[in-house]
Every structure is written in structure tokens, then in C-alpha cells.
Amino acid sequence: MTKVFFIRHAQSLANVERRYQGQSLDTELSEFGVQQAQALAGQLRSQSLSKVVTSPLKRAHQTAEIIATALGIPLEIDPLLIETNHGEWEGQKFTDLETNYPDLWKYWQTYPSRMVFPGGEAFADVAARVLSWWKKEAVNYPAHTAIVTHDTIIQAILTRLHKLNLDHIRDFRIRNTSTTIVELTRPPKVLTIGDISHLADYSL
């Protein structure tokens, strides 16, 4: 049965600085992020992947390129897998957001289904975009495929597959280069969530 391997991009330079990246702060991978992606590529060698599909942002594309090159498989870019537009929050540190937008920050942590980022997207629209992609593209993949994208994109899909409201996205911990595997049965079956066993030799 065909499987989809959802992968969060490796650690980026902005991740190291604890900054919101969104779409405009398009940073590359950190040195450790490159190591994470290489370790994951090694683990994926046994999975018979047919291709890698990635968000267009650098942190995802670089992660996907490392995997695709190591496995000798094609790489495709899909703009529907892009991260949320966080508007005014992009480039700011998490700690500064908690200080400068205390009420809105708490609202985002509690009610993501109703969150509209100042100058950016409504998270419900982001979820609708990626779920449309899921229905039209992913469920029709004929062979095992790796999808390199962003944490909230994966979380939005998981809430749908578990029949949960979007406010439950934080029920699922999706760390850098973690793998979430979905088997394309009818209905789809979630096999693994947020696996980072390939990083066992690293201190996290």
C-alpha cells in the first residue's frame, strides 16, 4: 500500500535564533540542519521512495534536495505546501511576540482555528489550502512519496485525519526532520507521528 512520508524541514538559521519565519524570512539550513537532513536521508534509503515533493521555501527545498540527491530520486516543488504567511510576526523572536502581542499570542496558542495573523493569513485559510492539496494530489500518489513542508502544515493534515478541530494542532509534536507516515488506505491510516529516531546519535 502506498505511503506518504511527511517531513518537517531541517533546522534553519532562523530556528536557531527562535524567530518566526513564515514566508518572507526565507533562511537556509544551519550546519546542524544539514546533518539532520543527511541522517534522515540515510534512514529513508530502505523505504523505496519514488520522489520528493517540497515547499518552495529554502529551508524545505534544501532539506528535500539533500534527500533526493542521496536517494537518486526526482524532486518536485509544490507552492501549496508553503508555510503560513505570518505577516507582521515574520522575523520577530518568539519571546518578543509574547511581549509585544500578549493577547494575540495567547489566542494563537489556544484558538488557532480562528487566528488571523496581523498583515498575514487566517490559519483556517492555510488549512483549507493544504487540505485541498491533500484531496487532489497526495491521496492519488501511485508510489511512496516524501513531502517536505512545515510543522503547522503537517499538523493541519493530522487534525483532519484524526477528525479533530484545528484547535488541536498542538496535540501533535512535529520537530525538525521528524517523519509522519500516512498509509493511503481508505480511509487513510496514520502509522507514525513525528518520528526522529534517525537523530538518536545527536543530543537534542
Active site residue 83: yes
Strands 179-183, 75-77: pairing kind: unpaired
Among left, alpha and beta (phi > 0; psi -120 to 50; other), residue 96 is: alpha
How far, in Å, are 14, 63, 112 from residue 33 at the CA level? Answer: 11, 8, 27
Out of 9, 86, 150, 198, which one is annotated catalytic?
Answer: 9
Binding residues: 8-15, 59
* d(C-alpha 102, C-alpha 43), whole Å: 41
Q: Residues annotated in the binding site for substrate, as ranges?
A: 8-15, 59
Question: What's the grid cell of residue 84?
Answer: 503560513
CA distance 192 to 3: 11
9 is catalytic: yes
Q: Is the separation of the CB atoms in 6 and 145 below 8 Å? A: no
Whether 76 contacts 61, CB under 8 Å: no
Active site residues: 9, 83
